Amino acid sequence: MINQTIEQLLSHYSVRAFKDKALTESEIRLLVESAQAASTSNFVQAYSIIGVSDKKIRRELAQIAGGMDYVETTGQFFVFTADLNRNKSIAESKGANPASLDTTEKWLVAVIDAALAAQNMAIAAESLGLGICYIGGIRNNIKQVSDLLEIPDHAMPLFGLTIGYPEQNSAPKPRMPYELVYHENRYQQKEEGLYQAYDETISKYYTDRTGGVRSETWTEQIAKGMEHATRLDMKDFIESKKLGLK
Q: Name residues contacting a copy of itself, limited to 141-160 (CB under 8 A).
A: 149-152, 155, 158-159
Provide, rounded to whole angstroms, the least separation between the CB of residue 111 and a copy of itself: 6
Q: 90 and 103 in contact (C-beta within 8 Å)? A: no
Does position 50 bind a copy of itself by CB under 8 A?
yes
Provide, rounded to whole angstroms, the least separation between the CB of residue 154 and a copy of itself: 11
Q: How far apart are CA 131 and CA 165, in angstroms?
A: 6
Cβ proximity to a copy of itself: between 211 and 229 the closer is 229
- By CB under 8 A, the residues from 161 to 220 that bind a copy of itself are 172-173, 175-176, 178, 180-187, 189-190, 192, 195, 218-220
Span interacting with a copy of itself, options 15-23, 64-72, 108-116, 163-171, rule CB under 8 A: 108-116
Q: 24 and 164 in contact (C-beta within 8 Å)? A: no
Nearest to 171 by CA among 19, 17, 14: 14
Total chain residues near a copy of itself (CB under 8 A):
121
DSSP 8-class letter at 140: G
One residue of 15, 18, 23, 47 binding a copy of itself per CB under 8 A: 47
Q: How far apart are CA 79 and CA 8, in angstroms?
A: 24
Nearest to 146 by CA among 70, 221, 80, 219: 80
Provide, rounded to whole angstroms, the least separation between the CB of residue 18 and a copy of itself: 16
Cβ proximity to a copy of itself: between 186 and 213 the closer is 186
Q: How far apart are CA 202 and CA 193, in angstroms?
A: 15
